[in-house]
Structure 1
Amino acid sequence: MTFLTIGHRGVMGVEPENTLRSFVRAERSGMDVIALDLRLSKDGALVVLHDAEVDRTTDGSGAVADLTLAELRGLDAGDGQRVPVLVEALDAVRTPLQVSVGDQATAAALAELLLGRDLTARVEVASFDEEVLAEVARRVPGVRTALYAEQLDAEGGPLTDRAVAVRAETVALNIRQLNLEAVERVHAAGLRVIGWTVNTLDQLRLARALELDGALTDFPEIRSTGRFTA
């Protein structure tokens, strides 16, 4: 079974998260997939940021939705890095991307880009909101999607049912909330299961023992050597 190692916001344990430098290092480290997050700027640009506000990850303050792309570009996203737009991330690396969106407006803008650049083979869309995934799938036939959740219920049912209903191919869950029985139930429904976030050797061993299909990690060492050194 192929085990996918997914760089979480690039390799955010060693580089500024969701920046081009982080994505390039993730690719050079051999990550199979790079996971990033999208939000819409005030003027409708697809910017790569996780939080609704810029305060934590930049030297600025305020809501992403209240700032124009030009204003966001003026911020330091860590070590001199700038807030990228999705197209820049696509151009910076060749590694497949898992792109997380949280609302319908961002999903609609992403769908337009996917269709315009024929990116369905390279980009998987992820969300904690199954309605967002359903809308993307409606707009972009053939797009691959992943449903995220904090935890899986004891029976493995409702979350799996929601994923199947929106034709998601993958369920992504907090590895601390997973057990082998639950993973087996999800697999039985024909879905892949990935865990987040795997940052230690013990967590990597757990991911393997649970027979996960992959895991998100903040550190390149997990992919390159299996050792955690940070």
Structure 2
Amino acid sequence: MTFLTIGHRGVMGVEPENTLRSFVRAERSGMDVIALDVQLSKDGVLVVLHDAEVDRTTDGAGAVADLTLSALRELDAGQGEHVPAFEEVLDAVRTPLQVSVHDGAAAAALAELVLRRDLSTRVEAASVHDEVLAETARLLPGVRTVLHSDLSGEAADVVARALACGAHTVALNIRELTLDTVESVHAAGLKVTGWTVNTLQQLRLARALELDGAATDFPEIRSTGRFLA
């Protein structure tokens, strides 16, 4: 069984999250997929940031939606890195990308870009919001989609949600996963990955649960995982 190692916002345990520096290091570390987040700037450009505000990850303040791309570029996102436009990431690395969208406007912008640049085999869309993921799947038929969720309810609830919004994969908290849950997801014809796998113990658990992959903050998880295969 193929086990995918997913670089979480690049390799944010050792590099500034969601920056070109982090993505390039994730690629050089051999990550199978790089997971990142996109937001829309004030002037309608897809930029790579997890939060709706820039306060936590840059030296600036305010909502991403209130800042132009030019203003965002002036911010320090860590170690001199700037907030990248999504298209910059596409040009900087060749690794497949898992792109998380948080609202309908970002989903529409992502769909337009994927179609314009013919990225359907390289990009998969992810979201914690069922309705956003469903809209993305509608706009991009055939593109792989990932539902990020916790396990606040029964495994059957997560499976039902994933099927309803057209997800191909369910990404769940490794600390909440059980073999029964994984088997339920697989029985529905879906893949399941765990987040965030940052220790050898968690990696062994991910393997024991027969997950299809795991998101990690650290590049060494990739090399360690090869020996556990």
Q: TM-score normalised to the size of structure 1?
A: 0.96
Aligned to 1:169: 168
Question: 1:183 is paired with a residue of what secondary structure?
Answer: helix
Structure 1: any 5+ residue segments left out of the alignment?
none
Distance 1:133 1:118 in 2: 19
Opposite residue 144 of structure 2, the aligned amino acid is R
Tell me the TM-score normalized by structure 2: 0.96
Query: 1:133-189 deviations in whole A, cap 9, x for unaligned?
Result: 1111111121110000022633x1121111112221100011111100011000000
Q: Residues 152 and 159 of structure 1 are in contact (CA less than 8 Å); yes or no, is this contact kept in structure 2?
A: no
- Structure 1 segment 191-230 matched on structure 2, within 5 A: 191-226=190-225
Aligned length: 226
Matched residue, 1:141: 141
Query: Corresponding residue for 2:113?
Result: 113
User: Is 1:35–2:35 an aligned residue pair?
Assistant: yes
Separation in structure 2 between the aligned mates of residue 119 and residue 150 of structure 1, nearest angstrom:
29
- Kept in 2, the 8 Å contact 1:124–1:143? The answer is yes
Aligned pair 1:157/2:156, yes or no?
yes
Q: Alpha carbon RMSD of aligned pairs, Å?
A: 1.1
Unaligned runs of 5+ in 2: none
Q: Secondary structure at the match of 1:190?
A: coil
SS at match of 2:147: strand
Given that 1:173 and 1:196 are in contact with CA atoms closer than 8 Å, whether structure 2 keeps it comes out as yes
Contact 1:152 1:177 in 2 (8 A): no
Q: In terms of mean alpha carbon deviation, does 132-141 or 97-106 score higher?
A: 132-141
- Secondary structure of the structure 2 residue equivalent to 1:89: helix
Helix, strand or coil for the counterpart of 1:153?
A: coil
CA contact (8 A) 1:9 1:35 kept: yes
Map 1:35-54 → 2, pairs under 5 A: 35-54=35-54
CA distance in 1, matches of 2:152, 2:180: 11
CA offsets, 1:177-217, max 9 Å, x none? 11000110000000000000000000001111111100000
- Tell me the CA shift for residue 225 of structure 1: 2.8
Partner letter of residue 160 of structure 1? V
The answer as to 2:19 corresponding to 1:15 is no
- List structure 1 segments (4+ residues) > 3 angstroms apart after TM superposition: none
Q: Secondary structure at the match of 2:175?
A: helix
CA distance in 2, matches of 1:31, 1:152: 29
C-alpha distance in 2 between matches for 1:90 and 1:42: 21
Deviation at 1:112, TM superposition (A): 0.5
What CA distance in whole angstroms lies between the structure 1 residues aligned with 2:38 and 2:60?
A: 18
Letter of the aligned partner of 1:188 in structure 2? A
Counterpart secondary structure, 2:192: strand
